[in-house]
Amino acid sequence: MEGQVLGNRYELVEKIGGGGMALVYKAKCNLLNRFVAVKVLRSEFTNDEEFVKRFRIEAQAAASLSHPNIVSIYDVGHEESAQYIVMEYIDGVTLKEYISQRGALPWKEAVNITIQICSAIEHAHRNRIVHRDIKPHNILMTKDGIAKVTDFGIARAVSSSTITMVGSTIGSVHYFSPEQARGGFTDEKSDLYSLGIALYEMVTGSLPFDGDTPVAIALKHMQTEPIAPREVNNDIPLGVNNIIMKAIKKDQNNRYQTASEMLEDLYRVLKEPEGSFVSMEDVESFPTRRMEAVSAENTKVQNEAAVVDHKGDQSGKKTDKVVIWLAVTSGLVIVAVLLFLVYNFLGPSPGQGNKENEIEIRDYVDLDIDIAKEELEKEGITVDVSRRNDEKKEKDLVISQKPVGGTKIKKGGIPVQFIVSDGPELIDIPDISKAEYRTAETKLINMGLLPKIEEEFSEIPIGFVTRTVPAAGEKLKAGDSIIIYRSKGPEIKKTKVPSLTNLTKIEAQRLLVEYKLKLGKITPEGGKPYTDKVISQYPDAGVEVDEGSPVDITFEEVKDRQEEIELVLGENADQYGDQINVRVEIKRSDTNKVENIYTSTHKKEDFPLKISIPIPMNGKTSIKTYYNEEIVDDSTLYF
């Protein structure tokens, strides 16, 4: 279809991809002069009502969403038998190609990509749309590292009808959830399962389930427990491992229940990679059962059964004795160690001399560490300080101490250990000025900030960032708000055109600058000579125009230069009669024709006479002067 124009507007340039139901082309929008992507339903499906319906569902689903991590839909249409969707053109690769090129990704990069995808899924779910085919093939990666979710071809609004079609499954077998494999109910948690599989592939470079046939893979999704990603790649932190394992639980009730819940853990794992914050508890789902009421008869039966069980267990008595002996021995060892530690570090209590060598430390929690160090070091007690970020306590305040306040310790004994706050973890604000605002917004979200968009006039192109508040280089806490100012383009102000008539070129330029206008076209063009006085202008004086608009001016063109010559009688005046016939003829270099430009009869007292001689531009004029048909002068004038 290359070269075909759809909708009298979209010229298909080249095929750039395709799937089971459609082909994707790079196209040029001739109306807006930009590149777009056009998805065209395959010709074999154009007469299939189910496929056409699903194709339209994609357009409706995606068109209702507006998010920096979702590919934008611009237009839909059909021409003859072609059904098509026009969308944002992404100059990049799919996430699948990205993984194939690089192998297992660094866990931080993988988490940041997953945050973007999860943010897009969260937006779709809030709009009651389940994607149902989340996989690396449907994630486009821009050259700036921005992830864009596309292909809502099998998305459906969340309702009781969100079920796989009878007799078939919808989704991609390596990534779809157990409920999709079973042909059961699919909801938001099905998307999160697929996202968990994609994250598994990103950090390990491989898929958790594979097989010779789609059916074999589907059965593994339903029945087989995956190998933990941390066992495949030792560099994966515990927190990332746990997020993946929770996302791909087989029971929907044991997974993340919302995209927002998964996003919260994804942001947290960037700060606490080895943290055990992911809740992995399974939700009990025992069915309701009928039970007999507890009665004396039931109790008697149970007791008799217990006696029988006790008799049958006599053979294990010898083993139990060994276990008990080992337990008692271990307990005695632990008590001895504890007594040793108490004696050495807290010191013996009897004896006045020992009491003078010990001090009861106070509680320094929430006090400045400098105060604690000064007091304890005066008493000869050493201090061991370790620091960590704390969202609630100011910098240099004590978070905890060991031993705790009220404990007596020996001078010169063990050091008092303090954990001290370094204040909240701060994020350096990057310089995102002149970046496209959606790219900048996504970057700040990935850093843990909450951007808000404001608009202002600027010389920076429309849609690009002019500045941020706070500014680049300042610091914020995770979760703080930051304002991104998006350019609306330059502010357009009006001014009236001044009158330039009879002004010189320099005077006209100065006046235009004063009125915040600029000099436009000058006539005559091409270096032709002109008088230095404006004879007309456009727009006319008094017309209201935008500031910065050009004003065209026109000067009078000079084609020939005029030079006056003087005719005199001189010393031979007496030889002429009272009436003298005067004739002047010229020959111009541009025409080479002899022209008689002056003929008249004069009296002697009329002399001297002044006559204007035209000289062509960059040329010359030959002159011959006759008195009574007698030549008296033969000369040449040059331009």
Q: What is the CATH number of the domain that holds 583?
A: 2.60.40
Residues 109-132 have a mean pLDDT of 91
User: Does the structure show a pLDDT above 50 at 318?
Assistant: no
Residues 102 and 167 both lie in one domain: yes
- What CATH code is carried by the domain that includes residue 65? 3.30.200.20
Residues 404 and 479 both lie in one domain: no
pLDDT single digits (tens) 437-472 = 888 888 898 888 889 999 999 888 888 999 999 999
Mark which of 399, 421, 443 sits at the end of a domain: 421
Q: Which of 53-67, 69-83, 332-346 has the highest mean pLDDT?
A: 69-83
Residues 377 and 417 both lie in one domain: yes
pLDDT, residue 583, reads 94
Cβ–Cβ < 8 Å for 537, 554: yes
Which residues have C-beta within 8 Å of that of residue 259, sequence separation ≥ 6? 118, 119, 121, 122, 125, 188, 191, 192
Residues 106 and 242 both lie in one domain: yes
**Mean model confidence pLDDT for the chain:** 82
Mark which of 487, 502, 524 sits at the end of a domain: 487
What six digits make up the tokens of 200? 């598994």
User: Does the structure show a pLDDT above 50 at 159?
Assistant: no
pLDDT over 90 for what percent of the chain?
35
Residues 136 and 148 both lie in one domain: yes
402 domain-assigned: yes
pLDDT, residue 290, reads 40
Residues 619 and 510 both lie in one domain: no
**Res. 162 pLDDT band, cuts 50 70 90:** very low
pLDDT, residue 193, reads 95
pLDDT, residue 75, reads 86
Residues 51 and 167 both lie in one domain: no
pLDDT, residue 144, reads 80
What is the length of the chain?
639
pLDDT, residue 306, reads 38
Residues 218 and 112 both lie in one domain: yes
pLDDT, residue 349, reads 43
User: Does the structure show a pLDDT above 70 at 356?
Assistant: no
Residues 141 and 224 both lie in one domain: yes
> Pairing state of beta strands 550-557 and 579-588?
unpaired
300 domain-assigned: no
Number of helices (H), then strands (E), belonging to the chain: the values are 15, 32
Residues 355-374 have a mean pLDDT of 87
pLDDT single digits (tens) 94-107 = 999 999 988 899 99
Number of domains in the chain: 6
User: Does the structure show a pLDDT above 70 at 325?
Assistant: no
The residues annotated as belonging to the active site are: 133
18 domain-assigned: yes
pLDDT, residue 336, reads 59
**Res. 208 pLDDT band, cuts 50 70 90:** very high
Q: What is the pTM of this model?
A: 0.47
- What CATH code is carried by the domain that includes residue 445? 3.30.10.20
Nearest residue to 151 via CA among 137, 165, 162: 137
322 domain-assigned: no
293 domain-assigned: no
> Pairing state of beta strands 408-410 and 450-456?
unpaired
626 domain-assigned: yes
Residues 376-395 have a mean pLDDT of 87
Residues 114 and 246 both lie in one domain: yes
Mark which of 517, 539, 557 sits at the end of a domain: 557
Which residue would you say has higher pLDDT here, 605 or 313?
A: 605
**Res. 147 pLDDT band, cuts 50 70 90:** very high
Residues 43 and 135 both lie in one domain: no
Which residue would you say has higher pLDDT here, 49 or 24?
A: 24
Residues 541 and 568 both lie in one domain: no
- Provide the domain limits for residue 252: 93-271
336 domain-assigned: no
pLDDT, residue 561, reads 80
Residues 578-593 have a mean pLDDT of 90
82 domain-assigned: yes
pLDDT single digits (tens) 338-355 = 665 555 544 444 444 455
